[in-house]
């Protein structure tokens, strides 16, 4: 068995000792407060393309990051060298930086009373003990399943198998010291199909904390092939205003724009189209968005946030009304509010699903556009203006008629959120934001 098949054993006691050394050094250098995070991780990634190994990477990383405060002045530094001398030098560098930064009364640790105390066990660590040879076999089987599914699959960008595991420990001068281990594993496949003058590409993937929760490798390849072939002979369409159904993966992106607009940083900079929206209806009444950070094995689960504040379940939107902004301790102080325990973002954001599958939503839409992929960065979070390139399928009579490409979908996010008429039960659980297909009542689709 070579080293690539061994699961790395993480030494938590060693990482905790490093945090204690860093904090002690910060105090001896005049810091009034300090926080430190230490991470030790390793992983394996293998990509097979057209039956041959294209890349094989094994990585082992370690990082110590420290932030010190001298009253309201802040300095940060990091190192990948875990020797005592390097840790001391890194802390001293952070202290030196703090001497030259401007004073900011909002800077500093979260209040001591907000520190996470009862750390839940979230079942996030499930190492995958596979060798490079085994990972190669899995990737090859996935790609073969795609290439053999349809004779029109004539090329491939490869299939990749990735496994990662890491341990993180956090500490600060409030006396907080805790950490947790986590794993992430994934299998993906991207293939190319051709028919006549038409050529298309598409993909599918599966990821999970536990390798046993990954989708069947053959099914991943088949889905990649099916999604690619169905895009062949795509057409352009005339510019029109129609309902748009966003697939679950695309709906997740829409909710990501919403999260960005209600984060504290965008709000205190007055760079959000949802400034002043707290307590107001931003979605239809049937929409509730709930954060559930303590779901077992979930990709977005965490016992505490980047400020070491306990994460909690709460309704960010309840019956369409925005309950609160997403705040860390710094943005909360800037806005004269209280942190929501969301330093680092949201942790498992779920939109309540309806009882309709995607086919039922197509029937409800009757005529319009199903969007399955988007491109470009045409989103203005200050105004909410939204204009992105898209590909998908034209729908008539509630049935998919043909694939479409070279179109742009445009609207305003505020109107789009208010115009959601249904959310499907085909929920995509592969990310930090979970949503089913999302039907928006009216948007501009620019084509010919």
pLDDT tens, 191-227?
A: 999 999 999 999 999 999 999 999 999 999 999 999 9
In a shared domain, residues 216 and 238: no
Would you say residue 1 has pLDDT above 50?
no
- Last residue of one domain, picked from the residues 203, 229, 255: 229
Q: How far apart are CA 289 and CA 415, in angstroms?
A: 18
pLDDT tens, 226-255?
A: 999 999 999 999 999 999 999 999 999 999
Q: How far apart are CA 327 and CA 342, in angstroms?
A: 6
- Place 137 in a pLDDT band, splitting at 50, 70 and 90: very high
Q: How far apart are CA 351 and CA 315, in angstroms?
A: 10
- State the pLDDT at residue 2: 42
In a shared domain, residues 302 and 435: yes
Q: What is the dihedral of CA 265, 268, 272, 277, to 10 degrees?
A: 110
Mean pLDDT for 331-358 is: 96
Would you say residue 132 has pLDDT above 80?
yes
Which H/E stretch holds residue 439? strand 438-446
Would you say residue 8 has pLDDT above 90?
no
pLDDT tens, 274-294?
A: 999 999 999 999 999 999 999
In a shared domain, residues 166 and 314: no
pLDDT tens, 71-120?
A: 999 999 999 999 999 999 999 999 999 999 999 999 999 999 999 999 99
pLDDT tens, 302-329?
A: 999 999 999 999 999 999 999 999 999 9
In a shared domain, residues 214 and 283: no
Domain containing residue 317: 234-448
- Place 299 in a pLDDT band, splitting at 50, 70 and 90: very high
Would you say residue 142 has pLDDT above 70?
yes
Mean pLDDT for 24-29 is: 98
In a shared domain, residues 176 and 252: no
- State the pLDDT at residue 6: 58
- Last residue of one domain, picked from the residues 178, 194, 229: 229
Q: How far apart are CA 221 and CA 159, in angstroms?
A: 8
Would you say residue 443 has pLDDT above 60?
yes
| 310 touches 223 (CB < 8 A) | no
- Last residue of one domain, picked from the residues 191, 209, 229: 229
In a shared domain, residues 288 and 386: yes
In a shared domain, residues 303 and 207: no
The domain tally of the chain equals 2
pLDDT tens, 150-181?
A: 999 999 999 999 999 999 999 999 999 999 99
In a shared domain, residues 225 and 268: no
pTM of this prediction? 0.94
Would you say residue 7 has pLDDT above 80?
no
10 Å Cβ neighbour count for 13?
A: 9
pLDDT tens, 422-432?
A: 999 999 999 99
Mean pLDDT for 33-48 is: 98
DSSP H helix total and E strand total for the chain? 9, 17
Main-chain dihedrals φ then ψ at residue 121, nearest 5 degrees: -85, 115
pLDDT tens, 392-420?
A: 999 999 999 999 999 999 999 999 999 99
Q: How far apart are CA 95 and CA 65, in angstroms?
A: 13
- Tell me the DSSP string of 87-122: HHHHHHHHHHHHHHSPP-TT-SPPPGGGB--S----
Write the CATH number for 107: 3.30.2290.10
In a shared domain, residues 222 and 238: no
Mean pLDDT for 341-363 is: 96
Mean pLDDT of the chain: 96
In a shared domain, residues 52 and 162: yes
First to last CA, the chain: 59
Q: How far apart are CA 268 and CA 42, in angstroms?
A: 37
In a shared domain, residues 304 and 225: no
10 Å Cβ neighbour count for 57?
A: 12
- State the pLDDT at residue 238: 95
- Place 3 in a pLDDT band, splitting at 50, 70 and 90: very low
In a shared domain, residues 192 and 281: no
Q: How far does CA 145 lie from the centroid of its chain?
A: 28
DSSP 3-state of 151: coil
Q: How far apart are CA 309 and CA 331, in angstroms?
A: 14
Closest CA relative to residue 242, chosen from 150, 63, 366, 331: 366
């Amino acid at each position: 068995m070579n080293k690539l098949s061994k699961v790395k054993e993480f030494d938590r006691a060693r990482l905790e000792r490093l945090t204690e050394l860093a904090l002690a050094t910060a105090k001896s250098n005049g810091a009034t407060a300090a926080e430190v995070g230490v991470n030790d991780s390793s992983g394996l990634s293998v990509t097979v393309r057209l039956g041959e190994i294209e890349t094989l990477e094994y990585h082992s990383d370690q990082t110590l990051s420290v932030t010190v405060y001298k009253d309201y002045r802040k300095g940060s530094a990091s190192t990948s060298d875990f020797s005592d001398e390097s840790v001391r030098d890194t802390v001293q560098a952070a202290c030196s930086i703090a001497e030259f930064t401007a004073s900011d009364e909002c800077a500093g640790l979260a209040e001591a009373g907000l520190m996470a105390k009862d750390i839940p066990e979230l079942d996030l660590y499930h190492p995958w003990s596979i060798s490079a040879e085994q990972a190669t076999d899995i990737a090859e089987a996935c790609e073969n399943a795609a290439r053999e599914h349809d004779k029109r699959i004539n090329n491939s960008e490869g299939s990749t198998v990735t496994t990662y595991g890491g341990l993180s420990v956090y500490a600060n001068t409030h006396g907080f010291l805790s950490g947790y281990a986590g794993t992430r594993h994934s299998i993906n496949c991207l293939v190319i199909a051709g028919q006549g003058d038409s050529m298309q590409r598409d993909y599918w993937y599966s990821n999970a904390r536990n390798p046993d929760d990954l989708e069947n490798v053959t099914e991943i390849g088949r889905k990649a092939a099916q999604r690619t072939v169905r895009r062949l002979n795509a057409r352009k369409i005339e510019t029109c205003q129609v309902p748009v159904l966003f697939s679950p993966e695309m709906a997740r992106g829409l909710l990501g724009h919403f999260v960005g607009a209600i984060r504290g940083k965008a709000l205190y900079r007055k760079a959000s189209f949802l400034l002043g929206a707290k307590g107001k209806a931003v979605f239809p009444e049937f929409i509730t968005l709930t954060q559930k950070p303590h779901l077992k094995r979930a990709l977005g689960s965490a016992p505490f946030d980047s400020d070491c504040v306990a994460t909690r379940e709460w309704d960010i939107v309840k019956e369409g009304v925005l309950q609160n902004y997403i705040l860390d301790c710094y943005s909360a102080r800037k806005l004269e509010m209280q942190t929501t325990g969301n330093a680092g973002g949201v942790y498992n954001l779920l939109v309540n699903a309806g009882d309709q599958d995607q086919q039922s939503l197509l029937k409800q839409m009757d005529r319009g556009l199903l969007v399955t992929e988007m491109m470009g960065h045409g989103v203005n979070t200050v105004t909410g203006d939204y204009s992105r390139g898209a590909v998908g399928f034209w729908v008539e009579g509630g049935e998919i008629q043909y694939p479409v490409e070279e179109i742009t979908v445009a609207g305003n996010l505020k109107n789009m959120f208010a115009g959601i008429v249904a959310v499907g039960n085909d929920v995509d659980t592969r990310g930090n934001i979970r949503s089913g297909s999302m039907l928006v009542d009216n948007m501009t689709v620019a084509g010919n």
